[in-house]
Structure 1
Amino acid sequence: MSVQTFTVSGMTCGHCARSVTEELSEIPGVTDVQVTVETGQVSVTSEQELTRDAVTAAIAEAGYAVTAWTSPN
């Protein structure tokens, strides 16, 4: 299992969190997504480490941007 955390800009409500969660959940191997709207922090648990490209693309599809990576990748 791998847990990766990062910060996403632009989220302001529960709908934002659901959009980000839905897009990240579509990445193969993702088993859990936790979003804290107030801080923009997102934590993704997956079967293997995800690439930054996959995460960035999913976040962009939801209409947001990754601004900082808390965990290495």
Structure 2
Amino acid sequence: METIYIQNLKCGGCATTITKNLSEISGVSHVNVNVEESWVTFTLENAAALEMVKNTLKKLGYPEDGEANSLGSKAKSFVSCAIGKISN
């Protein structure tokens, strides 16, 4: 089980978007998002999937904790959050 602490995680809408998108990556399963602690856990079938997870999180606006958190990332996370709320 891998754990990544992420930025810009605000609510269940964010968690829904993250879970949906990460679950679609080949080799990634058992995705769990903790909104209060700002982390996501998942199981990897291969090491190559880890980079895909990190890139997907960054594209959605949830960069790994410690990475640059630009205004663009923050804006993307708001959009991802809204989409997650609508999908719920």
RMSD value, Cα? 1.7
TM-score by length of 1: 0.76
1:18: which partner in 2? 16
Q: Say if 1:4 and 1:49, in contact at 8 Å, map to a contact too.
A: no
- Gaps of at least 5 residues in structure 2 are 67-88
Shift of 1:50: 4.5
- Identity of matched residues, %: 33
- Gaps of at least 5 residues in structure 1 are 69-73
Runs of 4+ in 1 over 3 A off after TM superposition: 49-52
TM-score by length of 2: 0.65
- Cα distance between partner residues in 1 of 2:15 and 2:49: 21
Larger proportion of strand: 1
Aligned residues: 66
Larger proportion of helix: 2
- Aligned AA (1:14): G
Q: Say if 1:23 and 1:61, in contact at 8 Å, map to a contact too.
A: no
Matched, 1:63 2:61: yes
